[in-house]
Structure formats: structure tokens, C-alpha cells
């Protein structure tokens, strides 16, 4: 049954005329007549008989009228465009799976867990490792609820909200013998480097791309997939480490590291909160994502 034909039936019943029903619906008379023809075929009844005074309903039409009115009312009351009131995060028990690298774990997870213990004790978090090739599939299947990370390329049907804009700084151990005052470009290219390559590995990163544009290069001594191990290595060597500024500010004092501005321009990046659009209408999912966005806005 084509439910789009129901309004045609109602208007012909109301006006007793195909032409008046067409005017009420904003349709042409041929389109309305065609809809009536389809209705007759679907319902297996003439529905209306043409007379000198107008279209008279059959006994069958009079019998189904209340049911059709009820169906239209039910469809109208769905109010699909009206936002559903979201449940308070304190009120539900839910386990969320969030993809993060150790960068986001360090920057956001401690505050998130601390606040959830007070605001939503029924919510638990499972952190999944960042694996670029699996992000799309895991979001689509529900194996992952959220991704909290910098996505290099947008994923299909994924909703993304910016969480934190980051630029870069350079870390060196306190009292580094090779740095006298501010870090110069000569210092940066002369000294060895620890590189964080979190996903696909390698020995080159964003800093190497920028240096190449300037006709410069650096020497990467060690490449690791995790920021925390890179920070420890830097604290116990004379090598340099280029990291997001917020990470440097959070970890420098604990590991006796000193923060230096980069001696060359380098573009920053944005860490975002991402989820699949099929979860948009999940009220608890929406309540949690609003909570996280509000926590770190």
C-alpha cells in the first residue's frame, strides 16, 4: 500500500470532488485522478461513484475512512523532525568503545575518567588502538562507538567535531649541552631526533616535509609508535623530540624536559571526535558525545 495516496482519499471524501481535492493538495487534476485510480486498484474497490452532485463514497470507502484517518494521524505524530529529549548521562549504564592513540589517551583520558566517576558512574570506557585501515568498518558495524583522534582523511558517513587545535614544539632534556638558550635551526638539524610514527611507522614525519621545503633535513636516530616512550627516550638522551604543544606542557615537568619553540614554521592539526551518522538518533550515544564535547570545548 502506497501511504502517499491516503491524503488523496481523505480530500476526495471531504470535498466530494476530484478537482477540489486536487486544489486542496496542490496537485493537478490529472495527477489526482491518477492517484485515485491507483487507490482503487490497491484497495480492490471503486471507492467513489461519480454523480451529478459529486463523488459519492462506496460502502467500503466509508468503512475504511476511520482507519485511514487513524493511520495518517499516527504518521503525523511521529514528529521525526523534533529532537528527542536526551537522557541525563548520570541516568544510564553504558559501555562505550573509543579509538585513541596514546597521544589522546594522555591528553584527554585522565580528565574524562576523573569526571565520569563523579558525573556518570554507570558509564564505562574501553579504549581501542588506533588502526587507520579498520576505522571505517568498525564505526559502521558498531565495533567502535567513537574515534578521538586526528583523521588524516575524512571517512564516509562519519560525523566529525573538532575537539582541540594543536601546534608543535620541540622537547629536549633540561640542561642539554648542545642548546644554549633558544633552539636554532642549526641546533635542530645538527642534533639527533626521536620520531613518533604512530600508525604506519617510517622514519619521516611532518617536520621532515617542512625541512625539505626549506632545503634542510634532520637525522632521525629512533622511530617509535608511541609518544610516551618517545618522551622517556628524549629525557634520557641528547636527542630532540617534536610533539604537539599540549603534550609537551603536560609531560615536560614530570620528565625534566624543556619546551622549545620550533625554529621554523610548521602547520598544526586538529584532534576531533568522530562517530558514524547511523548513531545520530541513539539518545544515550548523543548524550555521551555532547558530554565529551562539552568537557573539552
Sequence ranges of the domains in the chain: 3-76, 96-165+270-296, 168-267
Spatial strand order of the sheet with 123-129 comes to: 123-129, 94-100, 146-149, 269-276, 158-166
| Total-model pTM | 0.69
> Which pLDDT value is given to residue 200?
73
CATH class of 3-76: mainly alpha
Q: Which CATH number fits domain 96-165+270-296: 3.40.640.10, 3.30.70.260, 3.90.1150.200, 3.40.190.10?
A: 3.40.190.10
- Write out residues in the chain with pLDDT < 50, as ranges: none
Among residues 50, 36, 26, the alpha carbon closest in space to that of 2 is found at 36
pLDDT of residue 201: 75
pLDDT score of 252: 95
The answer to whether residues 12 and 36 touch, using CB atoms and an 8 Å cutoff, is yes
Q: What is the pLDDT of residue 242?
A: 97
Q: What pLDDT, on the 0 to 100 scale, is given for residue 143?
A: 93
Q: Which fold has domain 168-267?
A: D-Maltodextrin-Binding Protein; domain 2 (3.40.190)
168-267 shares the fold of 96-165+270-296: yes
Tally DSSP H helices, then E strands, for the chain. 12, 12
Residue 181 pLDDT = 86
What integer pLDDT is reported at residue 202 of this predicted model? 83
Amino acid at each position: 500500500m502506497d501511504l502517499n495516496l491516503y491524503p488523496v482519499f481523505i480530500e476526495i471524501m471531504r470535498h466530494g470532488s476530484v478537482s477540489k481535492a486536487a486544489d486542496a493538495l496542490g496537485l493537478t487534476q490529472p495527477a489526482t485522478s491518477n492517484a485515485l485510480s491507483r487507490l482503487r486498484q490497491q484497495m480492490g474497490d471503486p471507492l467513489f461513484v461519480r454523480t451529478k452532485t459529486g463523488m459519492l463514497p462506496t460502502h467500503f470507502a466509508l468503512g475504511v475512512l476511520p482507519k485511514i484517518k487513524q493511520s495518517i494521524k499516527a504518521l503525523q505524530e511521529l514528529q521525526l523532525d523534533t529532537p528527542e529529549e536526551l537522557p541525563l548521562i548520570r541516568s544510564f549504564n553504558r559501555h562505550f568503545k573509543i579509538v585513541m592513540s596514546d597521544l589522546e589517551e594522555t591528553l584527554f583520558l585522565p580528565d574524562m575518567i576523573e569526571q565520569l566517576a563523579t558525573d556518570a558512574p554507570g558509564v564505562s570506557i574501553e579504549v581501542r588502538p588506533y588502526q587507520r585501515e579498520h576505522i571505517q568498518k568498525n564505526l559502521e558495524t558498531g565495533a567502535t562507538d567513537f574515534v578521538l583522534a586526528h583523521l588524516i582523511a575524512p571517512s564516509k558517513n562519519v560525523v566529525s567535531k573538532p575537539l582541540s587545535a594543536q601546534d608543535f614544539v620541540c622537547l629536549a632534556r633540561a640542561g642539554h649541552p648542545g642548546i644554549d638558550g633558544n633552539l636554532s635551526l642549526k641546533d635542530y638539524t645538527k642534533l639527533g631526533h626521536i620520531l613518533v610514527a604512530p600508525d604506519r611507522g617510517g622514519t619521516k614525519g611532518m617536520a621532515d616535509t617542512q625541512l625539505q621545503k626549506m632545503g634542510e633535513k634532520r637525522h632521525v636516530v629512533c622511530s617509535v609508535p608511541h609518544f610516551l616512550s618517545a618522551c622517556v627516550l628524549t629525557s634520557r638522551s641528547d636527542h630532540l623530540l617534536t610533539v604537539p604543544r599540549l603534550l609537551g606542557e603536560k609531560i615536560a615537568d614530570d620528565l625534566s624536559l624543556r619546551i622549545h619553540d620550533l625554529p621554523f614554521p610548521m602547520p598544526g592539526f586538529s584532534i576531533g571526535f568522530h562517530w558514524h551518522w547511523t548513531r545520530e538518533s541513539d539518545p544515550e550515544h548523543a548524550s555521551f558525545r555532547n558530554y565529551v564535547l562539552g568537557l573539552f570545548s
